Chains A and B, each alone.
Chain A
Amino acid sequence: MRILIADDEEISRRLLENTLTKAGYDVTSVGNGLEAAELLCNGDSPRLALLDWQMPELDGPTVCRMDAKRKINPAFILSG
């Protein structure tokens, strides 16, 4: 299963990425909301997105709401 992590705080992102990878998940991580939104518009986008609430470019809630261009709507988990 593919999981997207979007967090501008690098230590948090790296820790989460490491744990999920070790648990067997296919992890993609990005450092801001804009990159997350672009990635989620791809046809093979992850089915689960873990988003930080506050991020540069676009915040987590805004990324969640940008569903018009998405082919697949993933499950979102927001943290702040």
Chain B
Amino acid sequence: LAPHVPYFRCWDRRISRSAAEIWPNVSGLGAHKVSTATTSVLNIEDLLRRVDDDHELLAELFFIFKTVFPTHLQHLREAVAHKASRQIETESHTLKGMLLNLSASRAAAAAYELEQMGRNQQLENLNLAFTGFQAEVEALLTQMDGYVVEPQP
């Protein structure tokens, strides 16, 4: 399994251990913060590597995301409105995993920030963080819509 397995859920634990080590250049995670303008919303090259250049699978993943994301976002919105720390943590954790699997590191970083707020029950900047997360995901969805799946030879 060795050549195939590293692409997957191991990311979750790695983030929990040392986000700054994993993504030193992702805004909000590392000591060396960079402008989000310099980081792509969707790293399509990385994502294509992840799916072995399978454009059909890529289209399927985008479809799954667009189908399930609104429900997760609604749950997160409700959790934020009620300042429900545990729900904020679990929903953000789920969203972070999905976004990482889609090589959407900026949105994943924003989800991670919310997850940490929920876990540590530090909710002072919660609304600001949630607004930031929504902006990142809106940009991601726009980029997904603009991505044309090329026909397989």
Contacts and interface: CB of A to CB of B under 8 A. Distances in A.
Given A23-B1, A80-B13, A9 B7 contact: no
Contact of B97 (A12, A19, A23): A12
Contact size class for B?
20 to 34
Contact of A15 (B1, B7, B13, B90): B7
Contact of B52 (A14, A22, A79, A80): A22
B91 to A, nearest CB: 12
Interface in A1-60: 7, 9-12, 14-16, 18-20, 22-23, 52, 54
B47 to A, nearest CB: 10
B97 A15 contact: no
Interface string B90-112: 10001001100110000000000
A79 B10 CA distance: 7
Majority SS at the chain A contact face: helix
Given A16-B8, A19-B7, A79-B13, A11 B65 contact: yes
Q: Which of A12, A54, A80 has the most CB of B within 10 A?
A: A12
Nearest to A22: B52
Contacts of A52: 9
A18 B57 contact: yes
Nearest to B98: A11
